[in-house]
Amino acid sequence: MYLTSMTHEELYAEVHKDLIEISTKANMFMDKVRKKTKNMLPYPLATQRITLTTTRRNVWTVVGKHNSYMQGVGFQAYAPIVGASSNGYIQMSGFKPRDMVMHYTAHFMQRYKERYIDHYQIDRKGENLFEYFVYNNPQVLYTRKNNGGYFIVSDHGIAVADLSNDLKLMTHVTFLGDDELTLKKQLIYDEEIKIYKGALELKRLKSRKQKDDLVTIWNVAKKHNAGIEMVKRWYQWNGVKVDEDYLQQCIDLIEKYNVQSLDQFAELMSRQ
């Protein structure tokens, strides 16, 4: 049984023992749901689920649910980590040994409930807290912190997470929402949310095959008051290496001449 007192190593080892036991049944269930989905097109299939209890007394819930963001059925497999006052959760991203394991501490789930659900007085209509969190945060951005951890930003707020270097285990430690935070946490929240909103707008523009040139990126960053940090993050997320001094010079040029088009920017750059 998964317990809140278990170490990361113990949790990870337990997951892989369960993986061997439930993967066949879980994959058969998912194949069955996919076939049902095809028969239901163009209408979405109602949520499908199966509960699998292992010999180690871990209770896994496998859920197949229509995901409008993915335009199809998405699957989640999770099990509670039992604690004295509240539960955490273990989530499999797939049923292969190389797949990432997500770990949500009881503290994280409690903070999410306090700082989002309770703060905004959300009526979950009986939906499980973990499923509500997963299915209502389809778009996230991962930002690596200087200490090796991560900020995972979504519409609801920011998950502060750690990644075990020797294990494919990402632990969600706590949740920052738009409620009463310390000054330091509020500054982190404000900065990351601005960058997140700007990045989502750029993703939408890119999906419409509009160019994500520097002029457009900078205008979106200014619109969301996200500044040059959002520009640097956007290039980083897209695997583009840019010299920071050169980037600042380009932005200074755009600002100085109020550049509004890539052609205008290219002409000004040719004069430099």
- For 64-115, write each residue's pLDDT tens digit: 988 765 567 888 899 999 987 788 999 987 777 778 899 999 999 999 999 9
pLDDT tier at 211, thresholds 50, 70, 90 = low
Asked if 19 contacts 92 with a C-beta cutoff of 8 angstroms, the reply is yes
Closest to 160 in 3D by CA, of 233, 195, 108:
108
pLDDT tier at 63, thresholds 50, 70, 90 = very high
Cβ count within 10 A of residue 118: 12
Over residues 31-44, the pLDDT tens digits come to: 999 998 888 877 88
Q: Average pLDDT, whole number, for the chain?
A: 90
Q: Which helix (H) or strand (E) holds 59?
A: strand 59-67
**Domains of the chain, residue spans:** 6-179, 184-268
Spatial strand order of the sheet with 88-92 comes to: 48-53, 59-67, 72-81, 88-92, 101-104, 169-176, 158-163, 150-153, 141-144
Place of tokens 């109602």: 46
Percentage, residues of the chain above pLDDT 90: 69
